[in-house]
Amino acid sequence: MHRHLAFTLSALLTLASCGSSGLSGYGTGGGGGGGGGGGIAGPGPNVATLTVKIGPAGSTFVNIPFVTITVCAPGTSNCQTIDNIEVDTGSTGVRIMASVLNASLLSALPQQFVGATATPVVECAQFADGYSWGPVVSADVSISSEKASGIPIQVMGDSAFNQIPPDCSSPVPNEEDTVGTFGANGIIGVGVFAQDCGSACATSIVAGTYYGCPTNGAACAGILEPTNLQVSHPVAAFASDNNGVIVELPGVSAGGAATATGALVFGIETESNNTFGNATVLQTDPLSGTITVTFQGVPYPLSAIDSGSNAFYFTDSALGVCAQNTAGAGFFCTSTNLSATITTLANTQLAANFTIGNATTMIVSNPLAAAYPQLAGPIGATDAQTFDFGLPYFYGRNIFTAIEGHNAGPSTGPFVAY
């Protein structure tokens, strides 16, 4: 959703002396609970505060969860604490915008090189709406009391590497290398995969992924990138609590809230605050990380439960789409209760009930909100592949995401559970 719309509306509201509120209270969690038992985990060494709020200046999206992390040059006290880091269960790896790193730290993060000529490795990170380009460096990444030492991360938008290869930009020609265009100071990808690309990039050169960019200014060229050098899951590198995460968010009232504060809990079945409780494990496809969602009789094989998606996105031609030039343009303007069925490879089936609202009404009524639990939109006229349970599905739930190959209680990742 475009933040400039919200600005316009908030100005109107101010004129009307309505104040900024409408931030009705949200559920307060179970106090010290967490995990599959419900409630939000209290403070602990494996718990980071997770906040859905308006992002940093220039960002335009709602329903984005943020945490604060600390990035250090490996093994040193040259560190920087960075807020407004998006938490994304639909990608893997830490990516930080170069513009938010102080010069001392940026220059101290060791560049990864390839080949005998020590050519810098630079990554093109693909998203459905654009790409981020920048070098692969090594860093210590800390969050709560957990620490990943010397992991490969990406620095997005580093001006030292300003020649973007054509096959990086050609899939979706929208560079997202500023805080404003990306919508965050960085991202912490805590999805089901241990690395962002995996074996595909280690066994063949894949366009739009990893490149070697010679320091003499010659054109970047695609490279093979071994999995152990790829931008990787930070949690897998923790000394403990390293098999996955739980995103815990309170329920939010239907009309939306200015903020929603929950927890990002590290580890699954490793501590008293991250047990399954009554959660159902949904194994995801080992290659795509997806689940199959059946909605109105149609199976969608590339579906996901994804904190990095900011709404429910699916196909239902019976639902009205908000008109262009209205606050909810691009989203649904119908309020209704819906139900889908999630089916996994192991043939586990789980009913998924959810409620969507009129996007224009919710935005006009509560223009300063960042958390809209009923925001939903069409994924395309009729996308044949994807049903997307985005962040709205996380409100009032504790949703586990386990890393491939890692044991978690009686189960083994990759899976999601709730």
Q: Strand, coil or helix: what is 175?
A: strand
- CA atoms of 278 and 418, how far apart (whole Å): 8
Look-up: residue for tokens 């419900």? Answer: 38
Least distance in angstroms from the C-beta of 350 to another protein: 19
**What single DSSP character describes residue 133?**
E
Provide the minimum distance between the beta carbon of 116 and another protein in the complex, in angstroms, as a whole number: 26
User: Going by C-beta distance under 8 Å and a sequence separation of 6 or more, which residues neighbour residue 211?
Assistant: 121, 122, 123, 124, 165, 168, 220, 221, 222, 223
Q: Given the complex with another protein, which of 29 and 208 has the nearer CB atom?
A: 208
Tell me whether strands 376-378 and 312-314 are parallel, antiparallel or unpaired.
parallel
Complex with another protein: residue 70 or 169, whichever CB lies closer: 169
Q: Indicate the residue type of 5.
A: L
Nearer to another protein, 373 or 390 (CB): 390
Provide the 8-state DSSP code for 249.
B
Q: CB under 8 Å to 227, separation ≥6 — which residues?
A: 194, 195, 198, 199, 201, 202
Contacts with another protein, residue ranges (CB under 8 A): 1-2, 4, 60-61, 63-64, 88, 90-92, 125-130, 166-167, 170-176, 183, 189, 191, 193, 196-198, 200, 204, 206-209, 287-290, 302, 304, 306, 308-311, 313, 329-331, 377-386, 388, 390
Contacts of residue 50, defined as CB under 8 A and 6 or more positions apart, other chains included, come to 65, 66, 67, 87, 247, 248, 249, 261, 262, 263, 264
Judged by CB, which is closer to another protein: 63, or 185?
63
Q: How far is the CB of 170 from another protein (least distance, A)?
A: 4
Q: Which two tokens stand for residue 113?
A: 């090189």
Tell me how far apart the alpha carbons of residues 233 and 93 are, in angstroms, rounded to a whole number.
Answer: 5
69 or 359: CB nearest another protein: 359
Measured from the CB atom, the residue of 270 and 290 that comes closer to another protein is: 290
At closest approach, how far in Å is the CB of 290 from another protein? 5
Q: Shortest distance, CB of residue 34 to another protein, whole angstroms?
A: 26
In the complex with another protein, the residue whose CB is nearer, 24 or 360, is: 360
| Rounded least distance, CB 315 to another protein, Å | 9
In angstroms, give the least distance from the CB of 271 to another protein: 28
